Amino acid sequence: MIIISGVISIPADKRAACIEASIPLQQATRDDEPGCLAYVFSADPCDDGAIAVYELWEDAPSLAAHFLHENYFNMRTMFGQHGITGAVTHKYRIDAVATVYNADRIATTDFD
C-alpha cells in the first residue's frame, strides 16, 4: 500500500469554497479509480490556510494510473483556480499494517 500525506496552502478566505468544489472530484476518484482506498482533502482544524491531504492506494500501479487520470488533472486545475499558494506532499510505501488497539483494547506499536 501507499499513503500520500501532505498540506496544501491556500488563502483562508478561499479554503471553504475550494474544499466544496473538490468534493465531486474526491468522490469520483474513490468511485472510479481501482485501487483507491481513501482520498480525502479536508480543512486543517488548526490552520485556516491549510487543506490536509490523505490518500491510500492499494499499490504503485493504481497510483500511477491515478496520475494519468482526468480526476487527477481536474483536481490540480480546480486547486489552481482557487488560488493555492503551495503544497508539500509525500508518499510512503507501507510494508506492514496492523490495528492500533490489541484484543485488550490497549493501543500498541506492535505489528504482529
pLDDT tens-place string over residues 53-107? 999 999 999 999 999 999 999 999 999 999 999 999 999 999 999 999 999 999 9
pLDDT of 66: 98
Widest Cα–Cα separation across the chain: 49
Residue 112 is predicted with a pLDDT of 80
pTM above 0.85, yes or no: yes
Domains parsed from the chain with CATH numbers: 2-57+65-93 (3.30.70.100)
- Looking at residues 14-29, what average pLDDT do you find? 98
CA distance 37 to 65: 14
Compute CA 71 distance to the chain's CA centroid, rounded to the nearest angstrom: 13
Residue 20 has pLDDT above 90, yes or no: yes
Mean pLDDT, the chain, whole residue set: 97
